């Protein structure tokens, strides 16, 4: 076998080569098989997964809507399929092994702790467009977002609850393990500024750890860092661990922390690597749950996915469609010229819950599978009684997104459709506040998993705009390109 083969947690080979399409087809079919046999056969028979995945990922949501049991069956069967199919290769040229092999041995990791020198912030302050919103200004902005359909009212209520309880911010008695600690959308900076204990996991790359250590020193919290026991030199050069290859060492290290542990999943990578690292985190989640009954889970869901949404979101989108404001004034000729493909309704009227399909083809099936895996785990864990914080985060101008020229242009034109694109500092502080809320106040009990996902969503307007996302995407790109040239 070629030494160029990937190692660690890997996508299985099919007929001698790695196939992410075969994995995606198989997992989606397995997830649908019990709840929707016709949908499962459709996924299995796809010959162009890169294009067809859009309809099948929508079907995963639709097939779960009839009942809680159907939704949980899809989640559990999808997770089981991934854990059965994904493999571990210990070294180049070695044979693939079951995923459990990732937890074999390895030299233990030690802990280095960086204690900040700053003063803990005892007030919720949200950075927003050059201002720092607190108190009445924060209240006003939350009202503006709710009125504009940018966030759900439950999101605003949760943020206000945290603002009214500033002693919650430091998360006393808990440690938050931030997997993907260097991610722009992660809560690390906000948590450290509030004086929290943060356990950081990211790749052993000095540039990452220089930044994280500097952040920890500047703020009030404590940062716990994994280091190789026999390593020497400055901390930034010996810190870090790789989830793909060091899963057993990371698992044992995290298992050893005292107090309540929150496992926060903020990892991201491009392409097939995203599925591999998402699967590594899920395997770690299962391992820790078996050993830590105090474990809580945290996730961020992307708004560019398929979600069931409440009746009032459907009705508001319908009202906006009828009023045809802004770009809608030229809707009719655009629809005629495009044979009905442009500016289609976001939802059929009167069907509840609505299904918001905001999957973006440019992000691809690997991204969709990695994010759906997290939603499945959140639903399964919540049903098993595990505390879970999964929040839909707004579209955000992170480096990983805007490096795609089409997405960057779409973001630039999105405001013409009532969509607000957030800056990273606003998003990660807002999401950290919602995490604090969920860990202290908990979430309401809902009858169906789709309601859990819709609670406190900050979707940026995608759920309440008049048009389906893909039918407006091309126009948003053209408007964004025009604005950039202007």
- Strand segments, DSSP code E, in 17-108 are 17-18, 87-89, 97-98
Q: Which of 90-94, 271-275, 475-479 has the lowest mean pLDDT?
A: 475-479
pLDDT category at 3 given cuts 50, 70, 90 is very low
pLDDT category at 132 given cuts 50, 70, 90 is very high
Residue 486 has pLDDT above 60, yes or no: no
**pLDDT value for 4:** 72
**pLDDT value for 233:** 80
Average pLDDT for 373-381: 98
Average pLDDT for 43-61: 97
Nearest to 138 by CA among 189, 151, 310: 151
Q: Which of 191-195, 232-236, 278-282, 386-390 has the lowest mean pLDDT?
A: 232-236
Q: Two tokens at 463? A: 């759920």
**pLDDT value for 452:** 98
Residue 184 has pLDDT above 70, yes or no: yes
Backbone angles phi, psi at 168, to 5 degrees: -75, -25
Output the pTM of the full model: 0.95
Mean pLDDT, all residues of the chain: 94
Q: Which of 160-174, 279-293, 389-403 has the lowest mean pLDDT?
A: 389-403
Residue 337 has pLDDT above 80, yes or no: no
Residue 124 has pLDDT above 80, yes or no: yes
**pLDDT value for 399:** 81
Look-up: residue for tokens 């595990």? 386
Nearest to 347 by CA among 465, 475, 454: 465
Q: Where are the alpha helices (DSSP H) in 63-129?
A: 68-85
Higher pLDDT: 300 or 339? It is: 300
CA distance 435 to 390: 8
**pLDDT value for 401:** 79
Higher pLDDT: 480 or 71? It is: 71
Q: Two tokens at 106? A: 């390895």
Average pLDDT for 322-337: 74
**pLDDT value for 2:** 41
Q: CA quadruple 484, 410, 264, 8: dihedral positive or negative?
A: negative
Percent of all residues in the chain with a pLDDT value above 90, rounded to a whole number = 83
**pLDDT value for 485:** 55
Residue 321 has pLDDT above 50, yes or no: yes
**pLDDT value for 201:** 98
**pLDDT value for 341:** 75
Residue 49 has pLDDT above 90, yes or no: yes
pLDDT category at 106 given cuts 50, 70, 90 is confident
Residue 436 C-beta-side C-alpha neighbours within 13 Å: 32
Q: Which of 184-188, 397-401, 455-459 has the lowest mean pLDDT?
A: 397-401
340-344 — which CB contacts under 8 Å span 24+ positions? 341/471, 342/471, 342/472, 342/474, 342/475, 343/467, 343/471, 343/472, 343/475, 344/467, 344/468, 344/471
pLDDT category at 475 given cuts 50, 70, 90 is confident
Backbone angles phi, psi at 412, to 5 degrees: -65, -30
CA distance 356 to 353: 9
**pLDDT value for 90:** 94
**pLDDT value for 377:** 98
Residue 280 has pLDDT above 60, yes or no: yes
378-403 in b/e form (b: 16+ CB < 10 A) is bbbbbbeebbbbbbbbbbbbbeebee
CA distance 24 to 57: 10
pLDDT category at 160 given cuts 50, 70, 90 is very high
- Say if residues 463 and 457 touch (Cβ distance below 8 Å): yes
At a CB cut-off of 8 Å and minimum separation 6, what does 333 contact?
none
């Amino acid at each position: 076998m070629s030494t160029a083969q990937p190692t660690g947690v890997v996508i299985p080979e099919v007929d001698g080569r790695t196939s992410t399409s075969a994995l995606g087809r198989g997992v989606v079919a397995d997830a649908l098989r019990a709840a929707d046999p016709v949908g499962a056969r459709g996924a299995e028979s796809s010959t162009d997964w890169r294009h067809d995945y859009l309809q099948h990922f929508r079907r995963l949501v639709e097939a779960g809507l009839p009942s809680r049991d159907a939704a949980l069956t899809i989640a559990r069967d999808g997770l089981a399929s991934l854990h059965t199919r994904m493999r571990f290769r210990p070294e180049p040229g070695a044979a693939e092994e079951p995923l459990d092999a990732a937890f074999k041995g390895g030299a233990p990791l030690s802990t280095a702790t960086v204690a900040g020198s700053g003063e803990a912030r005892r007030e919720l302050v949200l950075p927003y467009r050059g201002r720092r919103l607190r108190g009445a200004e924060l209240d006003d902005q939350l009202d503006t977002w709710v009125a504009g359909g940018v966030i759900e009212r439950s999101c605003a209520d949760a943020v206000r609850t945290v603002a009214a309880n500033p002693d919650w911010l430091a998360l006393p008695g808990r440690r938050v393990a931030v997997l993907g600690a260097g991610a722009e959308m992660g809560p690390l900076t906000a948590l450290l500024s509030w004086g929290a204990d943060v356990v950081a996991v990211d790749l052993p790359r000095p540039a990452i750890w220089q930044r994280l250590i500097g952040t920890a020193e500047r703020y009030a919290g404590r940062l716990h860092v994994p280091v190789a026991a026999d390593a020497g030199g400055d901390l930034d050069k010996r810190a870090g661990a790789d989830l793909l290859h060091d899963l057993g060492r990371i698992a044992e290290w995290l298992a050893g922390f005292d107090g309540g542990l929150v496992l926060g999943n903020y990892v991201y990578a491009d392409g097939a690597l995203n599925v591999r690292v998402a699967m590594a985190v899920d395997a770690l989640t299962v391992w820790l749950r078996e050993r830590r009954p105090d474990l809580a889970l945290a996730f961020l869901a992307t708004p560019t996915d398929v979600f069931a949404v409440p009746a009032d979101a459907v009705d508001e989108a319908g009202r906006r469609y009828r009023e045809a404001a802004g770009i809608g004034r030229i809707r009719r000729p655009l629809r005629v010229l495009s044979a009905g493909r442009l500016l289609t309704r976001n939802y059929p009227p009167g069907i509840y819950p609505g299904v918001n399909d905001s999957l973006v083809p440019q992000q691809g099936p690997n991204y969709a599978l990695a994010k759906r895996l997290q939603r499945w785990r959140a639903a399964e864990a919540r049903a098993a009684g595990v505390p879970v914080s999964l929040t839909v985060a707004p579209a955000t101008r992170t480096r990983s997104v805007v490096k795609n020229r089409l997405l960057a242009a779409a973001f630039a034109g999105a405001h013409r459709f009532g969509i607000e694109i957030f800056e990273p500092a606003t998003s990660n502080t807002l999401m950290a506040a919602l995490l604090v809320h969920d860990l202290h106040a908990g979430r309401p009990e809902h009858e169906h998993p789709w309601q859990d996902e819709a609670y406190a969503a900050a979707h940026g307007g995608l759920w309440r705009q008049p048009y389906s996302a893909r039918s407006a995407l091309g126009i948003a790109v053209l408007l964004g390109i025009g604005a950039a040239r202007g």
